[in-house]
């Protein structure tokens, strides 16, 4: 699809999301009652669903759009506006034993993420942003010849991740640092390719800005939690 058509599609989707933000903005698990009191039909339908039915609907977003379109016809366009071709994936050879102790869904996400990340022979150091215990970093270090610098602000997670790396002889160096600190900048500047899976709010925005400033060769970011920002408005 030409980029111009993507822009049209993105603009239409944005306009639809803005118009119906009252419908999707309420945070899950944050309300004692359904927050759509002005839509009795919707509340009545939701109240009839048991846990298994809710799970079935969750797994079928296009069918949810069709259901909602009965009350708001404009929402019938959601499947079309969110339909884009799948990215080309390259299978990554990985020792499945590295996934021992990693939640199954998390490991599946890591595999899918790395399958979509472009590889460059010139990459010598990867930056694992907000590393946690370094699940992503261990997969990278085991499947590429490059080193990994894992940046994490929780000391206990750094210690656990470093212990695992040393036990399995993986070229990973953990850095116990606040991602927003000046000290973190030196870690960014020594790397070639920045990786971030589930970088929340300002964390992914800060990485993008600093990686560009450092002139990194590549940035592969999977952001989330766009509402977790210090400002009132998210700035892409």
Residue 66: is its pLDDT beyond 80? yes
CATH of the domain at 144: 3.40.50.150
Tell whether 122 and 216 lie within a shared domain: yes
Same domain, 66 and 16: yes
Report phi then psi at 197, rounded to 5: -115, 120
235 falls within a domain: no
- Count how many domains the chain has: 2
pLDDT tens figures, 1-50: 567 888 999 999 999 999 999 999 898 788 999 999 999 999 999 999 99
How many residues in total does the chain contain? Answer: 236
Tell me the residue range of the domain where 19 lies: 3-81
Question: Is the same domain home to 219 and 124?
Answer: yes
What pTM does this model have? 0.77
pLDDT tens, residue by residue, 205-233 = 999 999 999 999 999 999 888 888 888 88
Report yes or no on 236 lying in a domain.
no
Residues 67 and 124 in one domain: no
User: 186 with 76, same domain?
Assistant: no
pLDDT at 125: 96
**Residue 107 pLDDT exceeds 60:** yes
């Amino acid at each position: 699809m030409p980029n111009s058509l993507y822009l049209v599609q993105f603009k239409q989707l944005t306009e639809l999301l803005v118009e119906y933000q009252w419908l999707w903005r309420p945070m899950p698990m944050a309300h004692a009652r359904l927050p759509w009191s002005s839509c009795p039909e919707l509340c009545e339908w939701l109240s009839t669903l048991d846990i298994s039915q809710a799970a079935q609907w969750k797994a079928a977003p296009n069918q949810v759009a069709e259901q909602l379109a009965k009350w708001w016809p404009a929402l019938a366009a959601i499947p079309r506006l969110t339909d884009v071709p799948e990215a080309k994936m390259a299978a990554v050879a990985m020792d499945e034993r590295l996934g021992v102790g990693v939640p199954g869904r998390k490991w599946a996400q890591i595999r899918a993420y790395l399958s979509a990340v472009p590889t460059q022979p010139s990459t010598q150091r990867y930056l694992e942003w907000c590393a946690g215990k370094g699940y992503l970093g261990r997969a990278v270090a085991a499947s590429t010849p490059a080193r990994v610098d894992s940046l994490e602000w929780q000391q206990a997670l750094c210690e656990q991740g470093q212990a695992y790396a040393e036990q399995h002889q993986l070229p990973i160096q953990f850095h116990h640092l606040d991602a927003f600190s000046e000290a973190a900048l030196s870690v960014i500047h020594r790397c070639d390719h920045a990786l971030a899976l589930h970088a929340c709010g300002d964390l992914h925005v800060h990485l993008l800005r600093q990686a560009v400033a450092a002139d990194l060769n590549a940035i592969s970011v999977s952001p989330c939690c766009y509402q977790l920002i210090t400002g009132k408005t998210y700035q892409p």
